[in-house]
Amino acid sequence: MGLCFSLSLSLARSVLCSQFWLPDTFRYSAQLPQLMRGCGIRWFLTQKLSWSLVNAFPHSTFFWEGIDGSQVLTHFPPGNSYDLKGRVEEMLKAMNNNKDKGHVNHSAALFGFGDGAGGPTQKMLDRLKRMRDTDGLPRVQMSTPDRFFSMLEKEKTQLLTWTGELFLELHNDTYTTQAQIKKGNRECERILHDAEVLSSFALTQKNTFQYPSIKLQHLWRLLLLNQFHDVLPGSRIQLVVEDAMRYYAALVRLRRAVRQLRFYLSRTSGTPGPGAGFPAKGFSGLQEPEADP
C-alpha cells in the first residue's frame, strides 16, 4: 500500500519514486538490489525481518548488496513495527533499538493502523507533536520517505554492507502449503492474458467488436486481491483460502469466452477449423484452453 500510494502521488507529479517501500513482506531475494537499481530505485525500507525467531538481524541502516554488486541504501525501522501508536515507550524503544547508533543519527517510526490502511488518528498525531522537543525523549518530526532517506544519505559513509538474501526465520513452508492457491493464481493469470490478447485481435478483425474492458477490469481486480501478501504465499487463515478459491472459480469460467474468441477469429480469418488461421504460436502464453470442469 505504501509503495502504491507513493507511486500514485509521484506519477501524478511526473516524478518517479526513488524508494522501494515494502514494510510487511518477507524473504527478499538477492536479485532485488539489481532490479531496484535498474528501475532507478536507490532506497529500500522494510521491517519484517525483526520477526525472526532465532537470529536478530544485525543492522537497522546499511547497504544491501545484490548478486551483481548493485547496492541500495536500506533501512529497517528499529521500532520493529509498521503500526506504532505514537506512544512514548515506542519512541524510546525505536531510539534504543537502533543497531547503527554512532553511524547514523536518524531512524523511521511507522505509525497508524497498519494492515487496515486506516492511517493515524488525531490522538497519535497529538502524541508525536508533543515529542518534537521534550527533554529525555528522541526528537520526533514528521517527514516523507524522500526527506528521510536524503538525511541518511548524508550519514552513509560509516555504514556497513550486507551481501545476499535477506531471510526471515518465520512463516516457514508458506511456499509449499495450499498449492491450489498458487495453481489458481497462475492459471487465472494465463486466462486473463489470453482473453486480453484475443479480444485485441478480435477488435482488429471487426471494429464493431465490443472489447470487454469493464469485465476484464473486474476480473483482474479479483485476481490482484488474491495476490495480497498473506493470500498468495500461504500465511493466512482458512476462510481466506475459501474466498480465494471462489474468486478463482469465477475467473476460470472465462475459459468459455476464450474458446469462443478463438473460434470467432478462426472464422473471420477465412481459414476453416477451430484455431486455424490465428497466429497463436507467435504469442508466448497463448495455449489451447482446458475443458471446463
CA proximity to 232, closest of 214, 218, 244, 249: 244
Give the number of C-alpha atoms closer than 13 A to the C-alpha of residue 108, restricted to the C-beta side: 27
User: What's the N-to-C CA distance of the chain in angstroms?
Assistant: 36
Catalytic residue among 24, 115, 146, 292: 24
d(CA 241, CA 179): 11
| C-alpha pair distances (Å), 137 with each of 61, 87, 88, 151, 216 | 21, 11, 8, 20, 53
Query: Under 8 Å CB-to-CB from 273, ≥6 apart: which residues?
Result: 266
CA geometry: angle 84, 88, 89, nearest 5 deg = 75
CA proximity to 278, closest of 202, 187, 171, 178: 202
> Does residue 24 have an active-site annotation?
yes
Annotated active-site positions, please?
Answer: 24
